[in-house]
Structure 1
Amino acid sequence: MTEDPVIREISAAVERSPDAIELRLHLAELLINRGRHAEALAHCSAVLTNEPGNATALALLQQCSAALAGTPGPPRATAQRFDWSAAEEEVAHIVEPAFVEQPADPVDDGDYDVVRRTTLTLVDVAGMEQVKTQLELALLAPMRNPELAKAFNLTARGGLLLYGPPGCGKTFIAKAIAGEIGANFYPIGIADVLHSWLGDTERAIKSIFETARRNAPCVLFFDEVDALGHRRSGLAGASGLRVVVNTLLEELDSATSVNDGVYVLGATNSPWDVDPAMRRPGRFDRMIFVGLPDRAARAAIAKLNLADKPVAGIDLATIAARTENLSGADVAHICTTATQLAMAESLRSGQVRPITMTDINAAIEQVRPSAGPWFDTARNVVEFSNSDGTYDDLAKYLRTKKFR
């Protein structure tokens, strides 16, 4: 039986960007629609490992479990985070677009007017002082001191790429940058860009940039930019993602586009998979490494994830000390697991029992660092692909953290 081209294309994108939660949930939805519940179940579980409590993943997981058990599943969740109404057509026409004559649902500028303000600033980012310093030098200082920047021939034009292991707060930092400069925040994922019909993907990208320009000053944030701007040399000749890369390059290029007041940020777990042309001057020409959260950041993450829950005797300093080398997502998972332990006992006793350090310690024993495989890859990149010094900051970090 020939593989469904929709499934094949999105599965390949998930393999390239395994931590792209939105993309993986999209694939799970498509698999469920085709009755492939066991495969969909695996993708839902992978999402919940990285983002415990994800409502969409839980709803799809319940649906898969019911189908595999041979019992009627619950109604499909109505409050999904993503619009997948066009899932049946999602990638089939990208694979062979030459025969498409008329688009079914033309792209409308208004579809992308999701720009919003954020109240976050870098003050809300606990710890991470080295990252803040680099942000100040690379982006914020030229914006705050335009005359001084002009004297040193510095500019805030072009793009900034945040990279590092998954679950370490790159999106949070991007929001804080927008709040720091009083700009609108406009997040973009692969589902906002990829469309089924010939020409719609290009129009989507152009519409996104036009919306950002209309709402300037604006931080235009591309999450999982390696999925959107993957190396063209690694893409199949008929892949629709080539169109994404080419159009992105055109819109980013200051020679062909006027992006005054639009500050383009990208986040990626795999900068080595980003097309080299995306990192030329005027595009994503500056890179900042965002590593694992330091002790202050881990304490703040634990405090945030335990807020508004019944707690007793929680020692944030101890939590921070015992979670060395864990990602922010890992720390959040520990808090979720501890909450579940306390809730389970409360259900047995019929009385609310607060979360204690006993629950936290038990949860810490259960959670293993999720960033290990990422650092294995990063170590190889530093050793064999850093002749131009692109990853010197990463190399220094690996030595400091004794990852090599």
Structure 2
Amino acid sequence: MVSDSVISALQAASKLEPGNADLHLHLADLLLQAGRASEALFEARQVLLTQPDRLEALRFAAWAAEEAGDTEAAARYHRINDALTGVIQGAAPRTVPPVQTVLAEPEPTDELQAGDSRWDLQTPRVTLADVAGMTEVKRRLDLALLSPLRNPELLKMYGATLGGGLLLYGPPGCGKTFIARAVAGELNARFLAVGLPDVLDMYMGQSERNLSEVFALARRNAPCVLFFDEIDALGRRRSQMRHSAANVVGQLLAELDGAKASNEGVFVLAATNSPWDVDPALRRPGRFDRTLLVLPPDAAARLSLLQTLTHARPHEGLDLSALVGQTGGYSGADLTHLVSSATELAMEEAIRTGQVRPIRQADFVRALRDVKPSTAPWFESARNVAQFANQDGTYDELLGYFKGQNPKDRDR
């Protein structure tokens, strides 16, 4: 945490040297880190009075205005910064069918026919029916996104609109990406997954252009589910970032707001293991304003996954129900590791004896001694957040989970 005494000393120094732009900008940086956005905006503006094209000042002014809730001013500063750095927004989106026809199969487009060598644009064939168990997750998805899309008349009747994005959070390896892909399948929409390496670039302004490009591609191919994995890395709190990296957050905010192009028909989902590290501006209404907790697979999901993983492997006498009872809290990735470990034990004996033998329950018993649930550290961190940093109720669902569950059995 930035010391108030340091800030006070720098403020006194800036009054003595009002023309020292570097001092004002350093002070703006510290004020942002301290959560004093209005004061940070004042310092940035002091620089812009004499150096209106100072990029660093424009970025600090945009971030500070955003944190202070002045979205119009933030958008103006972003536009000026974009013009000076050459960040070009994507082409206007093609005409998108009204919401009641979004569930129809998308028409082929020139972009799809020509292909795109950089982005992996897919049309998933999986749906939520392929997601075993996780009844509560499906219910929340249906309530927050799918039912409103299927009932546009009901939306109109209640004067409601379907805007903003959905943030999936929970421990790693629990199927957040698969769920996002299944949502695209439910909507008969394209699916475009974007990770940190797809966006961040070492050259100035290129990261922002990458973001603009991916949103433009999603708009051209609407209906499209645009999925950002590890959004906490891409959209980390700007007070924890420096300069160009933090500017990417501003660009992401502008794209989510549809400041220069409509996002109609583009459904933005994101996943994170650490929602508490996501920039607060990304959680405001119209952005990722809805959250969905994705926990380790419940008993039904574990049984289905174990059946799938063992189906094509030689096995005999497996009691999968017993394994389900022993793997509460295991993520999907943990279960995959467990089956691989049991398979390796059978293979090891086959190599030693020269005779192939099936995987047996004893192999799983041995594998369970070494393969433990990887979700435990996440739950420890999440418990602290749910108990001590939930003043606004963001993590009520997580807190309810902790209050109602035995730590050794995390089935829902």
Fold equivalence (TM over 0.5): yes
Pick from 262, 265, 272 the counterpart of residue 261 of structure 1.
Answer: 265
Partner of 1:315: 319
Bigger radius of gyration: 2
CA-CA distance at 1:269 after TM superposition: 0.3
1:358 lines up with 2:371 in the alignment: no
What code does the residue aligned with 2:286 have? Answer: G
In the aligned structure 1, how far is the partner of 2:331 from the partner of 2:157? 40
CA-CA distance at 1:256 after TM superposition: 4.3
What code does the residue aligned with 2:395 have? Answer: Y
Pick from 225, 236, 255 the counterpart of residue 230 of structure 1.
Answer: 236
Q: Give the secondary-structure state (helix, strand or coil) at the position aligned to 2:166.
A: strand
Partner of 2:110: none
In the aligned structure 2, how far is the partner of 1:328 from the partner of 1:398? 20
In the aligned structure 2, how far is the partner of 1:156 from the partner of 1:299? 35
1:136 lines up with 2:142 in the alignment: yes
Write the mapping of 1:77-92 to structure 2, written as runs, cut at 5 A. Answer: none
Pick from 383, 387, 390 the counterpart of residue 386 of structure 1.
Answer: 390
CA-CA distance at 1:307 after TM superposition: 3.0
Partner of 2:32: none
Write the mapping of 1:161-240 to structure 2, written as runs, cut at 5 A. Answer: 161-235=167-241, 237-238=242-243, 240=244
Q: Give the secondary-structure state (helix, strand or coil) at the position aligned to 2:122.
A: coil
For residues 278-317 of structure 1, the C-alpha deviation after alignment (integer angstroms, 9 at most, x for no partner) is 0111111110001111000111121222232111122221
Poorly superposed stretches of 4+, deviation over 3 Å? 109-113, 254-257
CA-CA distance at 1:403 after TM superposition: 4.0
In the aligned structure 2, how far is the partner of 1:257 from the partner of 1:121? 29
Q: Give the secondary-structure state (helix, strand or coil) at the position aligned to 1:162.
A: strand
What code does the residue aligned with 2:232 have? Answer: D
**CA contact under 8 A between 1:193 and 1:205: conserved in structure 2?**
yes
In the aligned structure 2, how far is the partner of 1:395 from the partner of 1:162? 16
What code does the residue aligned with 1:392 have? Answer: D
In the aligned structure 2, how far is the partner of 1:291 from the partner of 1:354? 32
Partner of 1:75: none
**CA contact under 8 A between 1:165 and 1:269: conserved in structure 2?**
yes
The more displaced of 248-257 and 122-131 is: 248-257
**CA contact under 8 A between 1:112 and 1:208: conserved in structure 2?**
no
Count of residue pairs brought into register by the alignment: 297
**CA contact under 8 A between 1:131 and 1:288: conserved in structure 2?**
yes
Pick from 269, 276, 284 the counterpart of residue 272 of structure 1.
Answer: 276
CA-CA distance at 1:190 after TM superposition: 0.3
Identity %: 52
Change in CA separation of 1:228 and 1:293 when aligned onto 2, cut-off 3 Å: same
Q: Give the secondary-structure state (helix, strand or coil) at the position aligned to 2:392.
A: coil
In the aligned structure 1, how far is the partner of 2:329 from the partner of 2:120? 35
Q: Give the secondary-structure state (helix, strand or coil) at the position aligned to 2:173.
A: coil
CA-CA distance at 1:111 after TM superposition: 4.7
Aligned-residue Cα RMSD (Å) equals 1.9
Q: Give the secondary-structure state (helix, strand or coil) at the position aligned to 1:312.
A: coil
Give the structure-2-normalised TM-score.
0.69
For residues 171-195 of structure 1, the C-alpha deviation after alignment (integer angstroms, 9 at most, x for no partner) is 1101111101111110000000011
What code does the residue aligned with 1:120 have? Answer: V
**CA contact under 8 A between 1:118 and 1:185: conserved in structure 2?**
yes
Partner of 1:73: none
Partner of 1:7: none
Q: Give the secondary-structure state (helix, strand or coil) at the position aligned to 1:377.
A: helix
In the aligned structure 2, how far is the partner of 1:304 from the partner of 1:402? 28
In the aligned structure 1, how far is the partner of 2:204 from the partner of 2:159? 42
Give the structure-1-normalised TM-score.
0.71
The more displaced of 186-195 and 246-255 is: 246-255
1:286 lines up with 2:295 in the alignment: no
List runs of 5+ in structure 1 lacking aligned partners.
Answer: 1-100, 103-108
List runs of 5+ in structure 2 lacking aligned partners.
Answer: 1-84, 87-114
